[in-house]
Chains A and B, each alone.
Chain A
């Protein structure tokens, strides 16, 4: 076990936290209770993750932390120390969109766009665990992400399409 880096009797001071964000190692100077969401948006300029409810109900702040879908509004930055965080900005490679992003565009899965980054990350988490999900599994996988525009149907269709695109490109290889 590594020795504690934050002395138990330390005062309410800022500390340095290093984490990998979209493949790049970053070090931020933060109050340890600062929310990961705020660090991403305000210190790192990654405004893809949105603040909706601020209490873990709506999913618009979803990011992947060590491969797990999480609500970044519920994560004190100290708990993201040494973590590998992926935001929506990290999903495309350059101008090349991911299958999910392409499918969301094609099927009208994004309207106002507030839920979209979280929705796409939740879908990518789902497809990683279940590459060919049933409709029920898609519904469950996205149940923590609220959308007030689409009525969800276009989103579900986009996820089915992304799954199909991924399967096709896997079998083509």
Chain B
């Protein structure tokens, strides 16, 4: 059933300070809406629980991308298009830029925001494995001030997150220490564009003297929240790269996750594909030696 706009309130206070003040007045009463690519879909379907919305679209404080010596701070209101077109992000954080390019068509990339993707907390969100594997941190803001926490601690279970009712994500911080790592990302879905992932992987690694010096693997759509394949990583770290390692990696990754059957795929398929993707990454890592490739 279509929603009647007469039953909804929407305000646009126009500044970040005014928005957090409003959230603090009655915590939990107001739902933030940025580009609307998730909220308006729920609204259209008559499934939006909130009746009072506050627009955070285009708040200048949330649209900045700051390039600092150690990290890049991306305003939570930056769109996928902003991520794809940024001169530093595009080459240095190809994982995130690629994820942005997979998310919806151009019109949705022009409106969907990184902060919105995080807060919407879909297990299939394409940008989340990239954040997890890159050791991203979030800066949360409220009238009480700002706090910073690792993204890895943010999503606790399905659609649950460490965000107080009066808080907003202000920025996403990406450390620059992995810029020399080999980066690998791939989304497996029914089609390349406009399809929700069956499995999405983001990985970083470094080979020195034929040995896997460091390796980091994150996978989406195989658990209620994106997961790091910690056991697989530990197994591979310090090992000499050869074809037997590929087999070992594949088995370890398949065994490490417990995906589910749902409308988009099956547990069996997801586990098998995850193993194959990890093997593909390792193959790329072994072939490259060092240095970042696309």
Q: Which residues of A contact B (CB under 8 A)?
A: 1-8, 10-12, 30-35, 54-57, 59, 62, 68-71, 73-76, 78-79, 81, 122, 125-126, 140-141, 143-145
Given the known interface contacts A8-B22, A31-B8, the answer about A62 and B107 at a Cβ–Cβ threshold of 8 Å is yes
Residue on A nearest B193 in the bound complex, by CB = A143
Are the CB atoms of A79 and B55 closer together than 8 Å?
yes
Sample 22 A-B pairs with CB under 8 A, ordered by A number. Answer: A8-B18, A8-B25, A12-B8, A30-B5, A33-B43, A35-B5, A56-B104, A57-B194, A68-B81, A69-B107, A71-B107, A73-B40, A75-B111, A76-B33, A76-B40, A76-B55, A78-B55, A81-B12, A122-B105, A141-B106, A143-B193, A144-B104
Are the CB atoms of A4 and B14 closer together than 8 Å?
yes
Are the CB atoms of A59 and B107 closer together than 8 Å?
yes
Contacts of B6 in A (CB 8 A): 12, 31
Q: Which residues of B contact A (CB under 8 A)?
A: 2-3, 5-15, 18, 21-22, 25, 33, 35-37, 40-41, 43-45, 53-55, 57-58, 81, 104-108, 110-111, 193-194
Are the CB atoms of A6 and B11 closer together than 8 Å?
yes
Of residues A7, A122, A140, A143, which shows the largest number of chain B Cβ atoms within 10 Å of its Cβ?
A143
Minimum C-beta distance from A40 to chain B (A): 14
Minimum C-beta distance from B87 to chain A (A): 15
Of residues A11, A35, A57, A71, which shows the largest number of chain B Cβ atoms within 10 Å of its Cβ?
A71
Contacts of A125 in B (CB 8 A): 106
Complex Cα spacing A141 to B193, Å: 11
Complex Cα spacing A159 to B6, Å: 41
Are the CB atoms of B14 and A144 closer together than 8 Å?
no
State which of A33, A57, A144 has its C-beta within 8 Å of the C-beta of B10. A33
Contacts of A5 in B (CB 8 A): 12
Minimum C-beta distance from B166 to chain A (A): 14
Contacts of A144 in B (CB 8 A): 104-108, 193-194
Contacts of B81 in A (CB 8 A): 68
Complex Cα spacing A139 to B3, Å: 34
Complex Cα spacing A3 to B13, Å: 8
Are the CB atoms of B104 and A6 closer together than 8 Å?
no
Minimum C-beta distance from B23 to chain A (A): 10
Are the CB atoms of A70 and B111 closer together than 8 Å?
yes
Residue on A nearest B7 in the bound complex, by CB = A12
Complex Cα spacing A54 to B44, Å: 7
Residue on A nearest B43 in the bound complex, by CB = A33
Residue on B nearest A67 in the bound complex, by CB = B110
Contacts of A10 in B (CB 8 A): 9, 11
Complex Cα spacing A74 to B109, Å: 13
Contacts of A69 in B (CB 8 A): 106-107, 110
Are the CB atoms of B36 and A76 closer together than 8 Å?
yes
Minimum C-beta distance from A29 to chain B (A): 12
Are the CB atoms of A71 and B11 closer together than 8 Å?
no
Residue on B nearest A31 in the bound complex, by CB = B5
Of residues B10, B11, B15, B106, which shows the largest number of chain A Cβ atoms within 10 Å of its Cβ?
B106
Given the known interface contacts A69-B107, A140-B106, A144-B108, the answer about A74 and B10 at a Cβ–Cβ threshold of 8 Å is no
Complex Cα spacing A126 to B106, Å: 9
Are the CB atoms of A56 and B12 closer together than 8 Å?
no
Contacts of A31 in B (CB 8 A): 5-6, 8
Contacts of A55 in B (CB 8 A): 40-41, 44-45
Given the known interface contacts A55-B45, A75-B36, A81-B12, the answer about A33 and B5 at a Cβ–Cβ threshold of 8 Å is yes
Residue on B nearest A139 in the bound complex, by CB = B193
Residue on B nearest A3 in the bound complex, by CB = B14
Complex Cα spacing A2 to B59, Å: 12
